[in-house]
Chains A and B, each alone.
Chain A
Amino acid sequence: MTGVAVHLEGLRRTFGATHALDNLDLRIEPGELIALLGPSGCGKTTALRILAGLDDADAGRVLVGGKDVTGLPASKRGMGMVFQAYSLFPHLDAQRNVEFGLRLRGRKDAATRSAEMLELVGLAGFAKRFPHQLSGGQQQRVALARALAIEPQVLLLDEPLSALDAKVRVQLRDEIRRIQTEVGTTTLFVTHDQEEALAVADRVGVMKSGKLEQLAAPAEIYQKPATAFVADFVGLSNRLAGTVHGDVVEVLGTRLPLVTPHTGGSAVTALVRPEAVGVTPDATSEAKVLTASFLGPTSRVTVTAGDQLVVAQVPSGQLPSLTPGTAVRLELQPVPVALQD
Chain B
Amino acid sequence: MAGLAAKRARKQRAFRWTVLIVLGTFFLLPLAAMVEFSTRNSETWPLLVDWPQLSATYPDLANGIVSSLGQAALTSLLMLVLLVPTAIWVRLRLPKLRPLVEFLCLLPLTIPAIVLVVGLAPVYAWVNYLIGGSSLTLVFAYTILVLPYAYRAIDAGLSAIDVKTLAEAARSLGSGWMTVIWRVVLPNIRSAVLSAAFLTVALVLGEFTIASLLHRTNLQVAIDYLGKSSATMSVAVSLAALLLAFVLLIVLSLFGDRRTTAKEKS
**Which residues in A have some Cβ–Cβ distance to B below 8 Å?**
52-54, 73-81, 83, 85-91, 100-101, 104-105, 130, 132-133, 143, 146-147, 150, 156
Contacts and interface: CB of A to CB of B under 8 A. Distances in A.
B245 interface: no
A133 B172 contact: no
B161 A52 contact: no
B151 to A, nearest CB: 22
Contacts of B172: 52-54, 74-75, 77, 79-81, 147, 156
Contacts, number: 71
Contacts of A83: 165, 168-169
B188 A87 contact: no
Contacts of B171: 53-54, 73-75
A105 B188 CA distance: 22
A68 to B, nearest CB: 19
Nearest to A83: B165
Most chain A CB inside 10 Å of its own CB: which residue of B161, B172, B187: B172
Contacts of B165: 83, 85-87
Contacts of A101: 173-174
Interface string B41-60: 00000000000000000000
Contact of A130 (B168, B179, B184, B266): B266
Contact of B174 (A105, A130, A132): A105
Nearest to B177: A75
B263 interface: yes
B166 interface: yes
Contact of B161 (A53, A81, A90): A90
A29 B116 CA distance: 65
Q: Which 7 A-B pairs have the closest CB atoms?
A: A101-B173, A87-B169, A81-B172, A74-B171, A91-B187, A104-B174, A85-B165
A47 B9 CA distance: 60
Interface residues of B, number: 20
9 contacts: A75-B173, A75-B175, A75-B176, A83-B165, A85-B162, A87-B165, A87-B166, A101-B174, A105-B174
Interface string B154-198: 000000011001101111111110010000100110100000000
Contacts of B162: 85-87
A247 B69 CA distance: 89
Contacts of B263: 132
A242 to B, nearest CB: 48
A80 to B, nearest CB: 7
Contact residues of B: prevailing secondary structure: helix
A100 B170 contact: yes
Contacts of A143: 169
B164 to A, nearest CB: 9
Contacts of B169: 81, 83, 87-89, 143, 146
Given A83-B169, A132-B263, A156-B172, 18 more contacts: A53-B172, A54-B172, A74-B172, A75-B175, A80-B173, A81-B172, A85-B165, A86-B162, A86-B165, A87-B162, A100-B170, A101-B174, A104-B174, A104-B179, A132-B266, A133-B266, A143-B169, A146-B169
B162 to A, nearest CB: 6
Nearest to A130: B266
A184 B161 CA distance: 33
B19 to A, nearest CB: 36
Contacts of B179: 104
A105 B174 CA distance: 8
A91 B162 CA distance: 13
Interface string B236-266: 0000000000000000000000000001001
Nearest to B168: A54
A89 B188 contact: yes
A302 B259 CA distance: 57
A26 B168 CA distance: 23
B173 A150 contact: yes
B197 to A, nearest CB: 18
Contacts of A54: 168, 171-172
Contacts of A76: 174
A105 B162 CA distance: 25
Contacts of B174: 75-76, 78, 101, 104-105, 150
Contacts of B266: 130, 132-133
Interface string B18-44: 000000000000000000000000000
B168 A146 contact: no
A81 B171 CA distance: 10
Nearest to A92: B187
Nearest to A143: B169
A91 B190 CA distance: 10
Nearest to A150: B173
Nearest to A85: B165
A83 B163 CA distance: 13
A328 B58 CA distance: 106
A89 B168 contact: no
